[in-house]
Amino acid sequence: MPRVLIVDDHPLTREALASLLGAHGFEVCGAASDGLEAVAETGRLKPDVVLLDLSMPGIDGLAALPSIRSAAPGCEVVVLTASGTEDNLLAAVRAGAAGYLLKTEPPERIAEFLNGVVRGEAALSGAVARRLLERVRSGSAHVGGVPDAIADKLSARELEVLLLLDEHLGTDEIAKRLFISEHTVRSHVKSLLRKLGVSSRREALERLSLARAA
């Protein structure tokens, strides 16, 4: 049963999310109302997933996100927010968020997305995914201007891993850069190799190089 920490400054929202997730097979192991408390509770409880609001008093979600990742490196962070702005989206992805969901998502979809994150997938609301892909395609998302032929096949997190492989980083270095476990890095590498139809990291980088030269 995946363990989830809910971070939101509205008590009614925390209660509603706890009820929803409990009904869909998650264990809500705790809750926090601001970024500072979120970091402390993540370190204490070591949840599998932190469901993180961005707009909170004191230390907000974006400011707290890197510290949350450091407090429990094996934990995934999924942003759940009313803000779909590109700046917040890209900042959260760069900080290592495994997902970015809008609060307008149907409740059942939120549970489905979290189940996907537990399996190593990214979680992006449809409108958010389109915005991120547009930025990646245009090269303005600071992810190396990955060509469509590659970007269309991979999740946001897999793109991050691929570009760090392109920097000649090893599994341990990628894990430290993204604040995830080495096991999670290997899972993402395995997934991106499968999606690109190659059998090794070297072949993946060759595909990336050829796509950029096309």
pLDDT in tens, 55-86: 888 888 988 998 999 899 889 999 998 877 77
pLDDT in tens, 100-118: 998 888 888 899 999 999 9
- Among 125, 160, 186, identify where a domain stops: 125
pLDDT in tens, 173-186: 888 776 678 898 99
In a domain, 201, yes or no: yes
In a domain, 76, yes or no: yes
Q: Are residues 147 and 113 part of one domain? A: no
The CATH number of whichever domain residue 168 belongs to comes to: 1.10.10.10
Q: Are residues 111 and 201 part of one domain? A: no
Q: How many domains does one find in the chain?
A: 2
Range of the domain at 107: 3-125
pLDDT given at position 142: 41
Q: Are residues 153 and 94 part of one domain? A: no
pLDDT given at position 104: 83
- Sheet with 49-52, side-by-side order of all strands: 27-32, 3-7, 49-52, 76-81, 99-102, 123-124
Residue 67 or residue 145, greater confidence: 67
The percentage of the chain sitting over the pLDDT mark of 70, rounded to a whole number, equals 89
Q: Are residues 198 and 107 part of one domain? A: no
